[in-house]
Structure 1
Amino acid sequence: MKIISYLNKNQISVGIVQDNTVIDVSDEFPDVLSIIKAGRNGINEINRIISAGVERRTLKSEHILPPIPKLERNVMCVGWNYLEHFNERFRQDINLPTKPTVFTKATGTIAGPYEEIPLPENFTKKLDYEAELAVVIGRKGKNISEEEAADYIFGYMCANDISARDVQQSHGGQWFMGKSMDKSCPVGPWLVTRDEIEDVQNLEITCKVNGNTVQSSHTNLMMFSVNRIISELSKGMTLLPGDIILTGTPSGIGSKRNPPLFLGSGDVVEVSISGLGSIKNGIVTVDETKKLEA
């Protein structure tokens, strides 16, 4: 099942995507988070609505929003989860981690799958891309074992962990500011429920900039599996329905290419994951100074 948030007559609606059409379920579910929290009962209700033969509407890509437009908590992220990307690290004195390296992106980073991404030139000169698999938690849980972790997953999305490399390196090794620019985490195009993906560790993941492939890898190359990540994150911290976890990016980031490839105004970045679809975002320059003065 592919679940979306989308604009319908200037209102945010919830729909199920089937064959380039959308079935609206907003009368039963005010937002996607309410579906996630309803669990199996929510999925059963959606299947009942679909079986009733309700109206299908043409789906326009420009109307699609991030599946969860407003987050209740920061996006949780795993760094250095592909060995070749770890070898691209900025500091060579850091040893190969034995547990997932975790950081977060602020709630305001979420952006739609086809939304323009602002480049604040007065803040960063080194905007970079990171294709990632996003996991969405479906059940409340703490101290979850690896064996049970899959039962806590609601679904998956494509994601791009857009990063300001210069800012990321200039705050004492803390990545939060360089990772938390507004609209720096486009996700989507829809939330694909767990049952649609036979093996999450068997997915191709790619990133293109202006049509050229810059990252090409496979989720079976993760150093820490999705189940391991969930288990580690839940140690001492309760995971909640709707939590988003980014599971790391493969090698090929722009800052480590020769010559470096940083994103500028007019560039288009596309992230694709097999079984999940693609997100495609243009980069636009914004003048933050003028925005503050307005």
Structure 2
Amino acid sequence: MRFVTFSSRQGGKDHGQARLGVLHDDLVIDLERFGACVGLALPSTMLDFIDMGPAAVRVVATALETLDDATRIACAVPVDNVALLAPIPRPRKNIFGIGLNYTEHVAESARALDTANALPSEPVIFSKPPTAVVAWDHPVHHDAAITQQLDWETELGVVIGRTARRVAEQDALDHVFGYTVINDISARDCRRAGQWIVSKGQDTFAPMGPCIVTTDEIGDPHALNLATYVNGVEKQNSNTRFMLFNVNRIIADISRVMTLEPGDIIATGTPAGVGAGRTPQEFMWPGDVVESVIEGIGALRNPIIAI
């Protein structure tokens, strides 16, 4: 299933609070209202639903198989009439970021950003704060007083569904709720003595969405094409099979030292083709539009604006 967080839209403006929905053809089904129609106690937020555990996904999937016209009218809204928000608009904790996780990106970063040329022997972990998260079509802020090197990084986002502590690699995917698209926006000239959080953690620097696709619809997270377009021009084109550390290894590694909890988010790294690694270097400016696309999940589009 494809879960979204949405608000109603009327007359081109967004109205009402954020709601949890399921994409069903060209409709968004309000999950809490759907539950009331079919006798299920279902929440109105993504985090509360993830907290219910894997069984909740199966229950909703079964209930949707019997969706009738009356229920559809009572709890569904045409997708064109809603604003899609970030699937988890306010994560409970920082997003876990994985740096230098594609071999060719390691090489281009060493050349352009003075990072180590050797392949990492363990996942390189940083974080992005919850305030960095924005939705599909929400503007990414370009503050010229802070950065002249605003860059893109399309990444597979992993959303944890079950508490994970010292998880074995072979069991790691059992702890995943689903997958989303994340653009790890980076201000390359804001790194501080090797620390990345100022470069990557600024407000609006974590566009996410447009949905979370549950694991049953993603047969193999390590076989997904991903691409980036700036103003319609392709900048990145790769596949998750080229990850240096796959999702299993990343979850196992993080959970060795800290507990992963339901709703936690991991951005699994970006392939080659970032702006800093191009010759000549390319960066984003107000008026640009960046689009991150991952096979089986969807497209995440964000304009760049001056602040």
Using the size of structure 2 for normalisation, the TM-score is 0.89
Alignment of 1:48-197 (within 5 A): 49-50=63-64, 51-53=66-68, 54-55=71-72, 56-60=76-80, 63-89=83-109, 90-91=113-114, 93-168=116-191, 171-197=192-218
Amino acid at match of 1:20: D
Residue deviations 1:88-136, cap 9 Å, x none? 1222655321111110011101110221111122111110000100000
Mapped pair 1:233 → 2:276: no
Give 2:45's match in structure 1, choosing from 31, 38, 57: 31
Amino acid at match of 2:155: E
Distance 2:274 2:193 in 1: 21
Given that 2:104 and 2:271 are in contact with CA atoms closer than 8 Å, whether structure 1 keeps it comes out as yes
Cα distance 1:93–1:38, how it changes in 2: closer, same or farther (>3 A)?
A: closer
Given that 1:133 and 1:248 are in contact with CA atoms closer than 8 Å, whether structure 2 keeps it comes out as yes
Given that 1:100 and 1:229 are in contact with CA atoms closer than 8 Å, whether structure 2 keeps it comes out as yes
Q: What are the ranges of 5 or more consecutive residues in structure 2 without an aligned counterpart?
A: 9-14, 34-41
Percent identical pairs in the alignment equals: 37
| Residue number in structure 2 paired with 1:4 | 4
Given that 2:187 and 2:199 are in contact with CA atoms closer than 8 Å, whether structure 1 keeps it comes out as yes
Distance 1:127 1:228 in 2: 30
Distance 1:236 1:175 in 2: 20
Amino acid at match of 2:268: T
Q: Which runs of 4 or more aligned residues in structure 1 lie more than 6 Å from their structure 2 counterparts after TM superposition?
A: none
| Residue number in structure 1 paired with 2:276 | 255
Larger helix percent: 2
Residue range with higher mean Cα deviation, 59-68 or 153-162: 59-68
Cα distance 1:93–1:229, how it changes in 2: closer, same or farther (>3 A)?
A: closer
**Superposition deviation, residue 234 in structure 1:** 0.4
**Superposition deviation, residue 260 in structure 1:** 1.2
Q: What are the ranges of 5 or more consecutive residues in structure 1 without an aligned counterpart?
A: 287-294
Residue range with higher mean Cα deviation, 5-14 or 123-132: 5-14
Residue range with higher mean Cα deviation, 48-57 or 142-151: 48-57
| Residue number in structure 2 paired with 1:40 | 54
**Superposition deviation, residue 41 in structure 1:** 3.0
Distance 1:195 1:93 in 2: 37
Cα distance 1:125–1:62, how it changes in 2: closer, same or farther (>3 A)?
A: farther
Distance 2:220 2:50 in 1: 21
Query: Cα RMSD between the aligned structures?
Result: 1.4
Residue range with higher mean Cα deviation, 28-37 or 213-222: 28-37
Aligned residues: 284
Cα distance 1:21–1:68, how it changes in 2: closer, same or farther (>3 A)?
A: same
Alignment of 1:266-285 (within 5 A): 266-285=287-306
Residue range with higher mean Cα deviation, 7-16 or 146-155: 7-16
Cα distance 1:194–1:117, how it changes in 2: closer, same or farther (>3 A)?
A: same
Given that 2:287 and 2:304 are in contact with CA atoms closer than 8 Å, whether structure 1 keeps it comes out as yes
Given that 2:106 and 2:117 are in contact with CA atoms closer than 8 Å, whether structure 1 keeps it comes out as no
| Residue number in structure 1 paired with 2:26 | 20
Using the size of structure 1 for normalisation, the TM-score is 0.93
Given that 2:98 and 2:267 are in contact with CA atoms closer than 8 Å, whether structure 1 keeps it comes out as yes
- SS at structure 2 position matched to 1:99: coil
| Residue number in structure 2 paired with 1:289 | none
Distance 1:60 1:67 in 2: 17
**Superposition deviation, residue 256 in structure 1:** 1.5
**Superposition deviation, residue 73 in structure 1:** 0.3
